[in-house]
Amino acid sequence: MKFIETAKIYGHLISFLATQNRFNLSYHPGGTDRNRFITAAEAAKQIPDGSTVISVGMAGHARCSILFRAIRNSYLKDKTPKDLTWMTVSAQGGRGKAPGTVEEVAVSGLIKEYISGHVETAHKQLEMGANKEIEIHILPQGEITRILHNQSEGNATCLSSIGIGTFLDPDLGGNTAATPHSTKSYVKKNGDLLEYSLPKINVALFNAPYADNEGNIYFKNASAITEIREAALAAKYNGGKVIATVSQIIEKDEASISLPSKHVSHIVVNPANEQTASIKQRKYWPMFTEGAKECMEKSIAKMNTINSITSYSPKRGPVDNILARMAASLFVKVAQKGNLVNLGIGLPEEVGRLVYEGGLFDDFTFSSETGVYGGLPASGLFFGGAINPQKMYSSAWIFNHYKTSLDITVLGTLQVDSKGNVNVSKRGEGVKNYVGPGGFMNIADSAKTIIFIGSWMAKAEFKLKDGKLTLIKKGIPKFVDEVLEVTFNAQAALEKGKTVYYVTTVGIFKLTEKGPELIQVMPGIDVQRDILEASTAKIQISENLELVSESIATGHGYKLAWD
């Protein structure tokens, strides 16, 4: 990237950091219907005590930042609203560091319960849960979106096979509670299925780009839509309130209305609203918008520069690069042209990068659980969006579409066990170590082929020399006899005819009836010493064990191509 472009990005980030904690809670645009267009401070007063509130968005996309701050300030000053049950579909926290996230409402007395699909980034809620100040409950993201849709039709439950044989299965002692002191669960057995439920939503909060003077909402130039429509319709059906925050008021365009005014109770105009993390909606980046045709190389460079400066994307070393090349080569080997693909966060993002750099990007349709469809999946700070997306659907739509149409996914792991079960939802003991499955369970259940990718050990040290990998210091095994929590049930996957691989630092495993079987090993790795004796899992070894190619190990001559 040219110096001047890099300098602009530094300027962009400096401006963002200087203003990210400034919220004008009293701003009103004037010249509008005063009953419909209100200030953020007034919006907070519209939320009754004891309400069930849902805030819409994922990660940095469409954050309701000004509403979070207004609600916090209202409670700290006037002790209202209080005793809220707060719900999100996906991650909306700032890891205890960033202002303007859902952690703003993590105040004792303000919320009494937190329900989400992913809680790892909501550090303050996790701390409250650990201190027994709130209950925390976890549901798969797909089931939350289904219930949102169902609530708009008068049904606060959904039946599903998702979660059977996992930590959510009541037959295995499972439930939705992430806090040991919880006295209830939002899942129960119903015949051969699981029945999930959620409290009826009284208040829906969302951030959309624009509104017109009549109160119609426009999604144009958004980076993701997520579950705005479903949440709004659910709250309205339940006789509740829908509060939107938008960046500005535009002229009415009947053909472009995304959510009619009849579904919106109040609108807060905030000129500082974000399109996505650090990017103001009024200065939106076209590369993240539906139907964009921006220069891919320049857009990628722009995204990568921000991720590098903020250190949001970890620096990848030689061993990580081997993992990515191994997974990308396997991906191209088992995928077919035209496949619909989902890539998880972290190392799976590197697979997308290599597929793009290898010239095969146009042979696939990539997608995200946010509902972003097509384009190149955005990484790091912008995960959940895409560069030049073709379409933007809701998260509820995409999860439903995945059930019949998702061909292949690449997902990260925390642990794998002797049966091939995977844990991604629990890092360790205690509430503060809880992660949640996010969209993982729905994605893995839908995909015909699953490639898991993760390091062989935590905190291990490897040395790469002359195309050979040597384990010089053992770490904490990630392949164990039993995972801390079953998020992915291997036997259920086999029964559904899925093909499952595990790509690790030491080689590639394939799921069999006996568990993970090593089918390819990295040059330099001693199977007995570095795999069988270094893991507590029972590992099968293929009779036709192959060596990982030297080009994957070194990167020299590495190329992705169709057979």
List active site positions: 369
Distance in angstroms (rounded) separating the CA atoms of residues 546 and 311: 37
Residue whose structure tokens are 């205690």: 430
Strands (E), 17-119: 52-55, 84-87, 111-116
Tokens of 487: 């998020």
Distance in angstroms (rounded) separating the CA atoms of residues 510 and 517: 5
477 beta partners = 457
Cα dihedral across residues 386, 388, 390, 392: positive or negative: positive
Pairing of β 408-412 and β 449-453: parallel
Q: What stretch of H or E contains 450?
A: strand 449-453
Distance in angstroms (rounded) separating the CA atoms of residues 54 and 202: 8
Buried b (16+ CB within 10 A) or exposed e, 146-174: bbbbbbbeeebbbebebbbbbbbbbeeeb
- Using CB atoms within 10 Å of the CB of residue 317, give its burial: 0 to 12 exposed, 13 to 18 middle, 19+ buried: exposed
CA distances from 377 to 91, 252, 339 (A): 17, 32, 15
Q: What number of H helices and E strands is found in the chain?
A: 13, 34
Q: To 5 degrees, how large is the angle CA 15–CA 17–CA 18?
A: 65
Q: Largest Cα–Cα distance of the chain, in whole Å?
A: 76
CA distances from 519 to 165, 456, 523, 544 (A): 27, 15, 13, 7
Distance in angstroms (rounded) separating the CA atoms of residues 135 and 130: 9
Tokens of 237: 């059906």
> DSSP letters of 410-434?
EEE-SEEETT--EE-SBSSSSGGGB
* Residue 157 amino acid letter: T
Distance in angstroms (rounded) separating the CA atoms of residues 103 and 489: 32
> What sections of 374-457 are H helices per DSSP?
395-405, 440-446
CB distance 290 to 284 below 8 Å:
no
| CA quadruple 476, 482, 483, 485: dihedral, nearest 10 | -150
CB distance 124 to 115 below 8 Å:
no
Tokens of 484: 């801390």
- Using CB atoms within 10 Å of the CB of residue 99, give its burial: 0 to 12 exposed, 13 to 18 middle, 19+ buried: middle
3-19 and 296-310 helices cross at what angle (nearest 10)? 50
